[in-house]
Structure 1
């Protein structure tokens, strides 16, 4: 089964709570198209691919006004493959978000359940990742870093910084403060639930956010422990990013890193991107990233360029063309995110035509 576990800023912007005092909302997004991959295991391929520019989501949102600026809230979000109608992963419902909580205008937000950490909340939903503006899941981090050996990962390095949402933290408690002069913070802890070992299979994440007018900056740290064959694999992610909007143009910058404490493998990346609203119906976006690993991953590095031209048929529906190119050092095999089989050489290209909508 494909692994396209990711959420987009559009899901935050387009799928937010309604303004009613108490409500339950059914909403979602769909994306389908045709992609050409220049080299997948030594051969080119043309294929139907879905959930690329935005994820295919079915989402139930609810809130109840409790008075005094306090609301009870819940979020149940499922992701599925448009080509087969199968929920993912493992045909399970509500694997992307499943939480309940309280949201107060003065005290902040407290939620409990299966939910995303602050690498996503602060850096991605903070509008600092080029994947928001460019080509979605293809623009998340992967590359020639299979020796990262991240647990429960189909390539060892799929979405290695976690910003794509491939690793929500289960059984977690999460708090986000209200904004004070544009500054807010958050923290969460995921309970492993292992008898006699409080820290086993646990997770911790923190985030710091600042926004002032057209400028925003964010930072985040996440540590997750995973039990693999009786051993605890400890994976750490951290990063910082910023964005600025001037007129019809939004520019972003992002730095993220990962370290697998079990084998000492680590990778970092830096990215610059932007979006230009050329006209009400036309949007041009792009991103460039450079990724670099340490000696455990053979000191491999990769450059990646992504571009997308989108035409809005309506406020909810758009068509687009996109291109992604990755180039690695000699001796390494390029692997754009969501391509499960690496290139047989140091380069890989994807061209795509797609359609997306929301409801």
Structure 2
């Protein structure tokens, strides 16, 4: 009898232990995007090119996200997201396994979310969605060299992020990214942003600063992930969009300032200035107007114009070129998860010359800068979401 009672007690305890995770509210979701198309660029160096290219309207990716109820409205959450090139199978974001996002944290409906890992900055979280490239168009519609990171050229490593819950239409958040080095401020970053949404109105603003971005392999913005490599980066801006019926219109202003920039991720090993010239600072002011019209439930068209004022201050003098960017897009849904789209982007550099690589037009996503001050890209693509 004693043996039977003991066996029953052990069986009950084991069953209770195994049942605990099953009774807890947990979920894990596998998701992804595959974006593949054909690009024509009229001027890459000194020739034109037709190419298969992956991840433009949205970066091709797959990921895992999950949460677990901890009780009292508190959840444990995580997200792991991998970026890849469909044509070669290579990893994106500098060869990282989960280069797009990788974080874990806690979420509470009344208090907000606190997460730790590789994450987006506040410009991407709040301001980017008021731009065409950060909302519905993607890489080709980025501001020159994605100087303000509204197209998410880089992520922040070693990052602590707080996101508030929505409060009467208002939401805010911020990040702090550690250098993970004895030089505490060497390649650290921090950002803050917020947005207000009411009916069809969205107003957003954000600020981002990084010290020595792109310097080293272990800081907030590493060398193989950076937009610009510089002594300091400051980005701030604001945007507004308004949706009325089937139409959405937006205006965005961003200001990007780089102190002693020495390189750019899009340009690779190409130096920003000729030998013997020191670039003291590089500043971009971007003024964007964009619009989108939903012709039917399955078809929309969109347009964008960006006027960029560049301030180039070097040891051989200072000049102020201007950059004009025009974009058009049409997107047709074949189903809830599959669509086809066509895009075109034109860029022209005008005004003062810097006598550097920056005098040549260069649309983000193309293979190389133009050999002139003009460049055109046309893309036809299919996108599938799962």
Provide closer, same or farther for how the CA distance between residues 214 and 21 of structure 1 changes in structure 2, counting only shifts above 3 A.
farther
RMSD: 1.9
Residue 219 of structure 1 corresponds to 205
Q: Is the 8 A contact 1:134 1:307 kept in 2?
A: no
Find the residue that maps to 2:42 and give its secondary structure: strand
Residue 312 of structure 2 corresponds to 295
Paired with 1:123 and 1:291, the residues of 2 have a C-alpha distance of 17
Unaligned 5+ runs, structure 2: 1-23, 217-228, 261-279, 354-358
The answer on 1:267 being equivalent to 2:284 is yes
Paired with 2:26 and 2:71, the residues of 1 have a C-alpha distance of 11
Q: Deviations over 1:105-163 (max 9, x none)?
A: 10011001110100000012xx3011145531011122xxxxxxxxxxxxxxx321111
Residue 162 of structure 1 corresponds to 149
Q: Is the 8 A contact 2:133 2:150 kept in 1?
A: no
By percentage of residues, which structure has more helix? 2
Deviation at 1:295, TM superposition (A): 3.3
Q: Deviations over 1:262-319 (max 9, x none)?
A: 3221111010112111011211111111111113274121111111111110011011
More relative contact order in 1 or in 2 (CA 8 Å, sep 6+)? 1
Q: Is the 8 A contact 1:171 1:190 kept in 2?
A: yes
Alignment of 1:27-106 (within 5 A): 27-106=31-110
Deviation at 1:89, TM superposition (A): 2.9
Q: Is the 8 A contact 2:188 2:212 kept in 1?
A: yes
Q: Deviations over 1:47-81 (max 9, x none)?
A: 11110111101111011111222211101111000
Residues matched between the structures, number: 322
Paired with 2:184 and 2:135, the residues of 1 have a C-alpha distance of 40
Q: Deviations over 1:11-35 (max 9, x none)?
A: xxxxxxxxx9421011000111111
Alignment of 1:1-359 (within 5 A): 21-124=25-128, 127-132=129-134, 135-142=137-144, 158-195=145-182, 197-226=183-212, 228=215, 233-262=231-260, 263-296=280-313, 298-329=319-350, 331=353, 332-359=359-386
Q: Is the 8 A contact 2:325 2:346 kept in 1?
A: yes
Residue 3 of structure 1 corresponds to none
Higher Cα radius of gyration: 2
Structure 1 stretches (4+) deviating beyond 6 angstroms? none
Normalising by structure 1, we get a TM-score of: 0.86
Unaligned 5+ runs, structure 1: 1-19, 143-157
Residue 8 of structure 2 corresponds to none
Deviation at 1:260, TM superposition (A): 0.9
Deviation at 1:346, TM superposition (A): 1.6
Paired with 1:172 and 1:160, the residues of 2 have a C-alpha distance of 21
Find the residue that maps to 1:90 and give its secondary structure: helix
Q: Is the 8 A contact 1:34 1:352 kept in 2?
A: yes
Paired with 1:186 and 1:341, the residues of 2 have a C-alpha distance of 36
Deviation at 1:205, TM superposition (A): 0.4
Find the residue that maps to 1:119 and give its secondary structure: helix
